[in-house]
Amino acid sequence: MRILAIETSCDETAVAVLEASKNKIKVLSNIVSSQVKLHAKFGGVVPNLAAREHVKNIEHVFTRALKEAGLLKSDFNSEIDLIAVTRGPGLGPALLAGISFAKVLAWKYSKPLIGVNHLEGHIYSNFLNIEHGTWNKIFPALNLIVSGGHTELVLMEDHGKYKIIGETVDDAVGEAFDKVARLLGLGYPGGPLISKLAEKGDSGIYLLPSPMIKSKDYNFSYSGLKTAVLYLIRDLGGKEKLTMKQKKDIAASFQKAATDVLIRKTIKAAQEFKVKSIMLSGGVSANSLLRLNLNRATDELGIKYSQPELKYTGDNAAMIGMAGYFSAKGRSVSVGNYDWEPVEMDANLGFK
């Protein structure tokens, strides 16, 4: 089976081609066109602008993905068996751009189309580097999904069976990274900038809070931590007066406070629910400190641990294709028994 996957939930226009056989999944191409530079001057993603760029770029990205997979447009009908597209959650106008393009392809070539939950795609980014023979030996699995819009602990009992056991009560951890980066005058997106600056900082200089780290539930909160950084910078005279050393130390202290609570609650939940594995995913999963310390913590517990390759941490279409493959298997999707028309956008799509 060959799968064409499309992802346009935010500001990356992405198309991938995957080949699924009985023994493995192979990524034949994974093209991502980022709009980061376009949105940086606004300090965040502008939905309608993102949608316009998707419409402008998607045909080119589609053609590149086919070419990298060794295919031509004329090969589409004979070589592609399934189309998978992100239908939510995400920015409504951006999602519609990808879904509309996918529906046209499905209609034109009479191909089955399956809508994919973007968060499920992040989870399945781990399966791109998990050995095929262990795909069904990792359950129950605990997923820590961390990104600009989401901070969730999701218990996965089997393919397609999810239960949210914890989530942010206010801001997502990725939002906090972006906000603190702006407070420090670093720019957008904040995650990579904070992480790089923190490498040479001392996380023990400024003791910042890890909100809800001692709460008995598995929820998170980052609004208080952002406020603490705001007050710290104010007390130091404002960002204009900060020395480079102070910026590095603040970045390191914030990063430690932000990731400590993620690790502690993930490990606590893993113990309570007696999971066989822990999986990390989402844009913030690229953070080196989080990857290192969560890996160490799972090693101490003797629990299997997986994190996506760095190229699959951000929004991409390969992870959507992977999730689409497992979803199609569960539904026995084939031409004639799965129509493209019912696939609709849901900007607030969650786990069932």
Domain identity same for 170 and 207: yes
Q: 104 and 183: one domain? A: no
Residue 341 resides in a domain: no
The SS3 call for residue 209 is coil
Query: Per the structure block, which two tokens stand in for 54?
Result: 């998707």
Has residue 352 been placed in a domain?
no
Give the DSSP per-residue string, 97-149: HHHHHHHHHHHHHT--EEEEEHHHHHHHTGGGSS-GGGTTSS-SEEEEEESSS
8-state DSSP, 312: G
Residue 131 in any domain: the answer is no
Same domain assignment for residues 120 and 190: no
Does residue 350 lie in a domain region?
no
Is 80 within 8 Å of 3 (Cβ atoms)? yes
The region, left, alpha or beta by phi > 0 then psi within -120 to 50, assigned to residue 219 is beta
- For residue 93, cis peptide bond before it (omega within 30 degrees of 0): no
pLDDT of residue 27: 96
**What pLDDT, on the 0 to 100 scale, is given for residue 151?**
97
Tell whether 163 and 289 lie within a shared domain: yes
Number of domains making up the chain: 2
Query: What's the rounded Cα separation, in Å, for the pair 22 and 41?
Result: 47
**Residue 208: alpha-carbon gap to chain centroid:** 26
The two tokens of residue 27 are 């990524």
What is the end-to-end Cα distance of the chain in Å, rounded? 27
Domain with residue 245: its CATH number is 3.30.420.40
Chunked mean pLDDT (size 10), the chain, 352 residues: 96 95 87 87 83 95 97 92 96 97 95 95 90 78 94 95 96 94 90 94 95 94 96 95 96 97 97 97 96 96 94 96 89 55 91 79
Q: Is 171 a domain residue?
A: yes
* Angle formed at CA 17 by CA 53 and CA 112, multiple of 5 degrees: 90
- The three-state secondary structure class of 350 is coil
- Specify if 180 maps to a domain: yes
0.95 cut: is pTM over it? Answer: no
Residue 116 CA to residue 84 CA, distance in Å, equals 7
Q: Are residues 91 and 37 in the same domain?
A: yes
The residue assigned the tokens 């199609």 is 328
Specify the pLDDT at position 44: 78
Task: Give how far the C-alpha of residue 216 lies from the chain's centroid of Cα atoms, to the nearest Å.
Answer: 26
Q: Are residues 30 and 55 in the same domain?
A: yes
Query: Of 56, 55, 36, which is closest to residue 46 (Cα–Cα)?
Result: 36
In terms of domains, do 111 and 153 share one?
A: no
Dig out the tokens for 173 from the structure: 């951890």
Alpha-carbon torsion (67, 70, 75, 78), positive or negative: negative
pLDDT in tens, 132-167: 667 778 999 999 999 988 999 999 999 999 999 999
What pLDDT digit, counting tens, does each position of 187-217 carry?
888 889 999 999 999 999 999 999 999 999 9
Domain residues for the domain of 52 are 2-125+312-331
Q: Give the span between the Cα atoms of 244 and 35, in whole angstroms.
A: 29
| 119 and 51 assigned to the same domain | yes
User: Which neighbouring-strand residues pair with 306?
Assistant: 279
